[in-house]
């Protein structure tokens, strides 16, 4: 069985983030063929092309982690109908320098997590727009909008909703097939 390395990017920096809790749940629910690694973007300096002559170490590390990944998993809250600046910054940093897009061709999936009822719908689709430009094929189905997240976890951060667990498990199975299909395309 082929093992896929999946880089996981969480757009919320909050210690008790529901997106982080969901990422950890996805890691536990992932098929055995997938190894998920949370990639921290909290300390990533803001993109500034002037710094490319001697890029910050955090930029270099991020780009290496992206290139080493077989697939990408993005979890995002919704801030003002868009993605958090820290997540957009990571996309910008990974897409540079010009002509050296680290994201290029990496299959991805997007999960938006929110305490609200519309489940981060706007952020999910806004993120997908940026991914199209950096040539990241994002899995279209199943879509993952996790709403009312404040009701889904216990005080220890464990997922308590069986229906959400079942959905996330099937989501990860679909993502496994998505990554596998793109890995085969890249190998040919």
Containing structural domain, residue 100: 4-187
Q: Are 18 and 152 in contact (CB under 8 A)?
A: yes
Q: What pLDDT digit, counting tens, does each position of 67-104 carry?
A: 999 999 999 999 999 999 999 999 999 999 999 999 99
Count of domains for the chain: 1
Residue, of 170 and 121, whose pLDDT is higher: 170
Q: What pLDDT digit, counting tens, does each position of 131-150 carry?
A: 999 999 999 999 999 999 99
pTM: 0.95
What are 178-182's contacts with CB under 8 Å, separation 24+?
Answer: 178/71, 178/107, 178/109, 178/139, 179/4, 179/6, 179/34, 179/70, 179/71, 179/107, 180/2, 180/4, 180/33, 181/107, 182/71, 182/105, 182/106, 182/107, 182/137
* CATH number of the domain encompassing residue 62: 3.40.50.360
Show Cβ contacts of residue 133 under 8 Å, excluding neighbours closer than 6 positions: none
């Amino acid at each position: 069985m082929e093992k896929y390395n999946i880089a996981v990017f969480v757009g919320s920096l909050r210690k008790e983030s529901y997106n982080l809790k969901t990422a950890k749940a996805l890691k536990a629910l992932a098929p055995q063929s997938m190894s998920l690694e949370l990639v921290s973007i909290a300390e990533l300096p803001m993109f500034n092309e002037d710094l490319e002559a001697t890029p910050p170490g955090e930029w270099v590390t991020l780009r290496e982690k992206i290139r080493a990944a077989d697939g990408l998993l993005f979890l995002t809250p919704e801030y003002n109908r868009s993605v958090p600046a820290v997540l957009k910054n990571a996309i910008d940093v990974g897409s540079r320098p010009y002509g050296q897009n680290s994201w290029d061709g990496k299959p991805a999936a997007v999960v938006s997590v929110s305490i609200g009822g519309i489940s981060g719908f706007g952020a999910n689709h806004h993120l997908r727009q940026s991914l199209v430009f950096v040539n990241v094929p994002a899995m279209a189905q199943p879509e993952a909008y996790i709403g009312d997240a404040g009701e889904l976890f216990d005080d220890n951060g464990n997922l308590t909703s069986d229906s959400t667990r079942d959905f996330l498990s099937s989501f990860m199975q679909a993502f496994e097939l998505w990554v596998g299909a793109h890995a085969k395309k890249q190998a040919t």
